[in-house]
């Protein structure tokens, strides 16, 4: 009987943990307005530019919160913690990379008309890396280990996106050079 009770308790505890983790990862990382804007922007260049502006807003807002700035009334991210915003930043950058990969795959060997998008991604990831470096200093100074973990994860995906943009730009340059 004790084994059955322990097994039942363990199963309930495990399902509660799984549900909690699922709820945490299932939390929406975009605001309703951002979701609507992404639905409207079907072409890759405006869509990626929108995603990148959402990502930049999260870094700027994280910095402001860590520096002690108050939350302005009507702030679209008012209910997001710095940790939520860094997780959202990561998920946005992942969406950027997935959107670009899908577009390039559908377009075949030429990769579609994404040169401007790659240039924008390259520029924005350089800016983001500088801002993430500053956030890392703030989080270290404030002794926020969870925030540091999220910053490091954000740096990793930003580096990956930056390298991907460089690779794509080099490929596009090589392809355009071959045509001439």
Interval 95-149: pLDDT, tens = 999 999 888 888 765 555 788 999 999 999 999 999 999 999 999 999 999 999 9
* Pair (40, 119) in one structural domain: yes
1/115 Cα distance (integer angstroms): 67
3-state secondary structure of 180: coil
Least confident of 13-22, 48-57, 59-68, 147-156: 13-22
Report the Cα–Cα distance between both ends of the chain, in Å, rounded: 80
* Pair (8, 21) in one structural domain: yes
* Pair (23, 80) in one structural domain: no
User: For the chain, how are helix, strand and coil distributed in percent, rounded to 5?
Assistant: 80, 0, 20
Residue 35's pLDDT band, with cuts at 50, 70 and 90, is very high
* Pair (85, 137) in one structural domain: yes
137/134 Cα distance (integer angstroms): 5
pLDDT computed for residue 70 by the predictor: 83
Residue 26's pLDDT band, with cuts at 50, 70 and 90, is low
* Pair (15, 54) in one structural domain: no
Q: Are 93 and 55 in contact (CB under 8 A)?
A: yes
pLDDT computed for residue 20 by the predictor: 41
pLDDT computed for residue 110 by the predictor: 52
* Pair (48, 137) in one structural domain: yes
Q: Are 87 and 107 in contact (CB under 8 A)?
A: no
Q: Which residue has the higher pLDDT, 105 or 158?
A: 158
* Pair (109, 173) in one structural domain: yes
pLDDT mean over 56-78: 91
Overall number of domains in the chain: 2
Handedness of CA 102, 107, 113, 118 (dihedral sign): positive
- Judged against a pLDDT cut of 90, whether residue 74 lies above it is answered with no
pLDDT mean over 50-64: 96
Residue 75's pLDDT band, with cuts at 50, 70 and 90, is confident
pLDDT computed for residue 175 by the predictor: 59
Residue 7 sits in which domain range? 1-29
* Pair (7, 36) in one structural domain: no
* Pair (36, 25) in one structural domain: no
């Amino acid at each position: 009987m004790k084994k059955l009770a322990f097994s039942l308790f363990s199963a309930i505890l495990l399902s509660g943990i799984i549900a909690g983790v699922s709820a945490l990862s299932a939390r929406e990382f975009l605001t309703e307005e951002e979701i609507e804007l992404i639905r409207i922007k079907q072409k890759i260049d405006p869509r990626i530019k929108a995603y990148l502006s959402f990502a930049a807003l999260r870094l700027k807002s994280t910095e402001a919160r860590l520096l002690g700035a108050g939350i302005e009334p009507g702030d679209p991210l008012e209910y997001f913690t710095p940790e939520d915003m860094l997780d959202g930043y990561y998920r946005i950058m992942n969406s950027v990379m997935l959107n670009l990969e899908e577009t390039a795959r559908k377009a075949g060997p030429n990769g579609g008309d994404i040169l401007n998008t790659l240039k924008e991604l390259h520029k924005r990831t350089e800016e983001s890396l500088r801002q993430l470096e500053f956030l890392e200093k703030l989080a270290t100074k404030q002794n926020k280990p969870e925030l540091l973990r999220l910053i490091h994860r954000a740096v990793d995906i930003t580096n990956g996106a930056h390298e991907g943009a460089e690779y794509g730009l080099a490929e596009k340059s090589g392809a355009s050079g071959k045509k001439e």
